[in-house]
Amino acid sequence: MMQETIAGHEQRIDGVIFDMDGLLLDSESLAMEALVSAGLTVGYDIPMTFCRRMIGVPADGCRTLVREAYGADFPVDAFFAAQEEHLRDFVDAGRLVLKTGVEPLLDYLDEHKIPRAIATSSSRYRTDHHLKLVGLFDRFDAIVTRDDVTRGKPDPEPYLKAAAKLGVEPCLCLALEDSHSGARAAHAAGIRVLVIPDLMEPNDEIRAKAHHVLADLHEALAFIRRTRG
């Protein structure tokens, strides 16, 4: 359900920017499972609660979190390489699926010729590979990955770059996010953000930054329909 009723005049929506993992793709749970498995591969029992701290965090930030928690001797490179291998195995086994409501929302944007982009903390290789696997690669006008920016989320650069690629002013864009760092990035870019939680519930800070907190992409589509009249 919506956090609050929609009242008053809404700024028009000329472009929509999506996060990918946990928002379009039901992939965050796979990534977390892969992190736990990678820990065991390199000889560490890493709890899921710690792994969830890495949701939406760029690669460099994840490495910093791991080093701070497990020390300078932790085999960081081997750990993240193992995570990629485990995640690839999960994806190749057919476990990567779309989040509910993705296709109706994209169909609506197609019908009304509303441009859309992706701003993700994943690598270009992983992003393109996963989007092609689920048939979404050709449904976006622009894709900004961690390889395309100097500073990843929660810095606003990914969202500002995505808006620029769409040719839409940030204030006329709408962001869809599941993670705390992503919501911070969109808010810092001056973009309205709908937060649709996946594995992390929004705290008071994120609720304050969110334009609305929604249950799923069906509610996001309903919001866009109402806003456009």
- Catalytically annotated residues: 19, 21
Q: Around Cβ 7, how many Cβ atoms within 10 Å?
A: 6
CA distance 103 to 217: 9
Q: Are 40 and 137 in contact (CB under 8 A)?
A: no
Q: CA–CA separation, 103 vs 16, rounded Å?
A: 14
CA distance 145 to 205: 25
